[in-house]
């Protein structure tokens, strides 16, 4: 008999407590993963909506005035383009008054994947 070894067995209630704790941790991790998935999906939808709004504003300006807008600020002032500049960066390069401008929409945060280029 070894008096220094402690061969204590886990009781059934201790096993259930460990399983309950493991299940709770698993559920919390699953829930957090779902929140991140929804957040990424929402960011993607916002980028698509912004792309549509910019494209619509540029086309409306060309239809009304006969020229493409000279800058992004022009679209904001005259055609009511509103977007969250903290989330997206829009690179607007006017090539000419009768040539579609080069527009690139980039997310500012790393969680929003990819970029949108409108040509």
> pLDDT 10s digit of each residue in the chain, 119 long?
566 666 667 788 888 999 999 999 999 999 988 888 877 778 788 888 998 899 999 999 999 999 999 999 999 999 999 998 898 999 999 988 889 999 888 888 765 455 555 55
Query: Residue 63: inside a domain, yes or no?
Result: yes
Query: Residue 1: inside a domain, yes or no?
Result: no
Beta bridge partners of 89: 106
Query: Residue 59: inside a domain, yes or no?
Result: yes
Query: Residue 29: inside a domain, yes or no?
Result: yes
Query: Residue 111: inside a domain, yes or no?
Result: yes
Query: Residue 97: inside a domain, yes or no?
Result: yes
Burial 36-48 (b: 16+ CB within 10 A, else e): eeeeeeebeebbe
Global pTM?
0.62
User: Computed from CA positions of residues 66, 103, 116, 53, in that sequence, does the dihedral angle turn out positive or negative?
Assistant: negative
User: Computed from CA positions of residues 85, 119, 72, 76, in that sequence, does the dihedral angle turn out positive or negative?
Assistant: negative
| Number of domains present in the structure of the chain | 1
Query: Residue 2: inside a domain, yes or no?
Result: no
Residue ranges making up the domain that contains 53: 13-118
Query: Residue 100: inside a domain, yes or no?
Result: yes
């Amino acid at each position: 008999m070894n008096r220094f070894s402690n061969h204590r067995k886990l009781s059934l209630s201790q096993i259930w407590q460990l399983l309950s704790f493991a299940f709770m941790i698993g559920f919390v991790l699953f829930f957090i993963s779902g929140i991140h998935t929804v957040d990424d999906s929402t960011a993607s939808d916002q980028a698509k909506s912004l792309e549509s709004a910019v494209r619509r504003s540029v086309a409306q300006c060309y239809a009304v005035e006969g020229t493409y807008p000279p800058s992004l600020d022009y679209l904001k002032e005259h055609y009511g383009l509103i977007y969250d500049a903290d989330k997206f960066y829009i690179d607007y390069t006017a090539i000419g008054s009768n040539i579609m401008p080069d527009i690139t929409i980039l997310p500012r945060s790393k969680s929003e994947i990819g970029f949108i280029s409108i040509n």
